Structures are given as structure tokens and as C-alpha cells.
Amino acid sequence: MENWFFPDNLDPMPILCLAGPTASGKTDLSIFLAQKLGKVELIYADSMAIYKYLNIGTAKPSIEQRGLIPHHLIDLLEPDQIWSSFRFRVEAFRCILECLERHSLPIIIGGTGFYLKSLYQPSIPQGSPAHPRLRLLLERYSNPRLFAYLVAIDPPRAFQIGKNDRKRLIRALEIYHQTGKPPTSFKKITSKTRNPFQFILIGLDHKRVDLKRRIIERTQLMIKQGLIQETQDILLKGFSPNVPALKNFTYGPVVQCLQGRLTIQQMEKRITIGTIQYLKRQLTWFRKAPVLWISTEGKNFDIISDEIIRIFLTYCIGGHSNE
């Protein structure tokens, strides 16, 4: 059986990826787009949505939204577990293939850059394997201490990562502790294996000032919806404040507030600033990625979704290549 998204040929199959920075409206648009297309399943490329119990602070789709459209790679891990771009790629490919077997259209949705890159430009893991116990030890340190430590052993890699990318700082130190060599001594090798899919990244383009406004409003809404209680509930389940799921710009300040180290107002400000800093890093990554941007200015979901479908269809009929 052949149709517009199940072509019977050996060319890489186009897979739509709805990408974009935080607070760009990907979640609500993805539901609208899925309902318009029909028989769609959504696969999340989000490094925080993968965790259980973290709902408000990760802006996950609601239970009602998930009831409308099947969602994958959400609520898989306990807060103290570790995930990687390699594991994401493996699970994402599994989900894509299972969707196709059900004759559903898989759509990737997310803004975690290294997850998206693992799809369209996979690399062979270099340096050392993941070491969960070592990572938990490194999680005890603040970002400034991790950065200073990495500067001492591998300055080029430290300044390439920056002071705020906690996961990559920890990964670099993990490589050093296991190998005794600085991370920059390992060359990144791009996989030459033929990719069975052609990932079409379509992004939602907003003015930066609008994204910052949306971040401020979303932070306020999260607090009203019960972000503090959600974090307290996770701690009451017996999880340490230092687990990977809580060591970030959203939940970290909430933990500090619960510990009496920040007021609610200070917590809100820290979350907002941290999210805006993350936005800047995302925008820097997206500038280098093969994303087709759609302006959202003055457009409703109906118009935007029609543009997305039109672009995607040109790839499905063999009209373009993103390589």
C-alpha cells in the first residue's frame, strides 16, 4: 500500500520535525496540526519531558491533549535516571518504525538541539561510556565549580560549552575522569551509516522580544498552577534535590525556595532569567541547524499549519533535499 507518507521506494522517508525554542508554542500547534492531518503520533525530542512527575515545570502537553493524540518519549524516566542523545535516537527510531507499522504519521516535536541533531547527523560516541555513579557525584557541584574544574583541565572545551550548560559540563568531566584525557583530545566522528529517514526540521519563528514576554508569562502561570507543590511532591517521594531532573533552571530555584534560601519573588526571577539564558543558547544552536523557519507574526494556527503541510508535502513528492 502506498500513499503520500508511505512511499514504496528506497529513498530516505521524509519525517516532519516541528522544532523551535522554548515558549514558541510547539505543543499547542502540534495538537492542532495532528488533528488536521489525522492519524498522527507525536514523538517528543525534549530532555525534560522524558521525566515522570515533572509536568508543570516542563510545560508538557496536558492529559487531555495526550488523550487526543498518541504521544511518545514522555514520562519514561524516574527523576534520578540519566538519558542521552544516543538513547533518544534509538528510542525515536523505534517509535517511528512502530508508528509506520500502524500506518500513522510520526511527527517529531521538540527544542532539545542535541536530540534533534542525533537524528539528522548522528555521531559515533567517543571518549567513554556513561557512568551513572560518577555523574551523580558531579551533580553535587554548582555550575561555576564544574566550569572552573573543566577550565583547569581542558580550557578550549570549557569555553566552548560555557558556564550554564550543566549537562555538557558534567559529560566532559565524566570523560576526563574515566580516560585521564581532556575531552578535546577525542575527535567527533560522524556516522557514515545511511539514514533511512530524511528529517525535515520546520521551526516557528518569533521575535525575540515576544519569546521573552511569553517566557515571563509562562513562568507566572507555572507558579499559579502549582510548580512549588509539584516540586515538593517529588521530594516527598524520596528523591534527592540533586537528582538530574531537578538540577536545571526551572526546578533548581524552586528547590532553593523550599529550602528557605530564596523568596517566591526571587525564585520567579531566577526561573525567568535562567529560561531566557537557555533561549539564547537555543537560538544560537538553531542558527547553525538546517531548519526551515516559518514566521508566526499575525498568523493563526490554521494558517501556520497549512504552511507546514505545504512544505512537508514538497519533500514527500521528492521536490527538495535538506542535505
10 pLDDT exceeds 80? no
Q: Amino acid identity, residue 97?
A: L
pTM: 0.80
Q: Please report the pLDDT score of residue 298 as a whole number.
A: 94
Q: Please report the pLDDT score of residue 187 as a whole number.
A: 64
Which of the four pLDDT bands, split at 50, 70 and 90, describes residue 7? very low
Q: What is the mean pLDDT of the chain?
A: 89
For 19-34, what is the mean pLDDT? 96
- Residue 192: partners with Cβ closer than 8 Å, 6 or more residues away: none
**Ranked by mean pLDDT, which of 120-129, 150-159, 184-193, 239-248 comes out on top?**
239-248
73 pLDDT exceeds 70? yes
**Half-sphere exposure in the Cβ direction for 227 (13 Å, CA):** 25
For 267-296, what is the mean pLDDT? 96
For 160-166, what is the mean pLDDT? 86
Please tell me the distance from the alpha carbon of residue 257 to that of residue 21, in angstroms, as a whole number: 27
Query: Could you give all domains of the chain from N- to C-terminal order, each with its CATH number?
Result: 13-124+191-316 (3.40.50.300), 132-186 (1.10.20.140)
Nearest C-alpha neighbor of 109 from the set 206, 181, 203, 182: 203
Phi, psi of 296 (to 5 degrees): -100, -5
107 pLDDT exceeds 80? yes
Helix (H, G, I), strand (E, B), or coil: what is residue 48? coil
Q: Please report the pLDDT score of residue 6 as a whole number.
A: 46
Q: Please report the pLDDT score of residue 195 as a whole number.
A: 78
Residue, of 255 and 168, whose pLDDT is higher: 255
